A and B are shown apart, each in its own frame.
Chain A
Amino acid sequence: DTAVSQTPKYLVTQMGNDKSIKCEQNLGHDTMYWYKQDSKKFLKIMFSYNNKELIINETVPNRFSPKSPDKAHLNLHINSLELGDSAVYFCASSQAHSLYNSPLHFGNGTRLTVT
């Protein structure tokens, strides 16, 4: 019954590799997000999709490419991984694009370690 599920939970890989993180939500929400949480626990938005359409694309290296095959899924592909990409990546969803009274529901995160 997990509302927002992302896989894998842990990802350890070497510099230069390409990896993907998958996310699915079963809440019927229209909007999905990818966040990066650094070692100091600061949450930074990376991307936001509303009904499969890219809405927010923050200053993220183009090695990061989100893909939304349908509004219940938002995957994150990362090319040529670098040491600085090590972080916890969170997928989230919200009922509507407007955040006035539409809180975020987060997955449990993917801890990416690049060696």
Chain B
Amino acid sequence: TQLLEQSPQFLSIQEGENLTVYCNSSSVFSSLQWYRQEPGEGPVLLVTVVTGGEVKKLKRLTFQFGDARKDSSLHITAAQPGDTGLYLCAGAPDSNYQLIWGAGTKLIIKP
């Protein structure tokens, strides 16, 4: 069974600080997606990374896919209260027909 371990599970920091969320697996993924979910809403896609070593930036968010395509990280610079939410990673295995989900990171940014 493929697993995607996401850490930390919970993070509460002050506005302006930096943070990193990790998703790790022993399995190889053909791609990895990051979603953000706000209360009362469904997850919304932030980015998809598909190439080993790929780095994508979305304003203050930087996403990286590991060289071996087994892990990924999300780094937020100068966090803002608007970044508060549940961050989920999801890997598409080589079979491609069912996403493997991390357990999520609940992020709270205090003003």
Name A residues whose Cβ lies closer than 8 Å to a Cβ of B. Answer: 4, 40-45, 48, 55-56, 90, 92, 97-101, 103-109
Contacts and interface: CB of A to CB of B under 8 A. Distances in A.
B92 interface: yes
B42 interface: yes
Interface size range on B against A: 20 to 34
A41 B97 CA distance: 22
A56 B97 contact: yes
- The DSSP consensus for interface residues of chain B is strand
B42 A109 contact: yes
A42 B6 CA distance: 11
A79 B93 CA distance: 33
Interface in B7-55: 30-31, 33, 35, 37, 40-45, 48, 50
Contact of A103 (B33, B86, B96): B33
Contacts of B31: 99-101
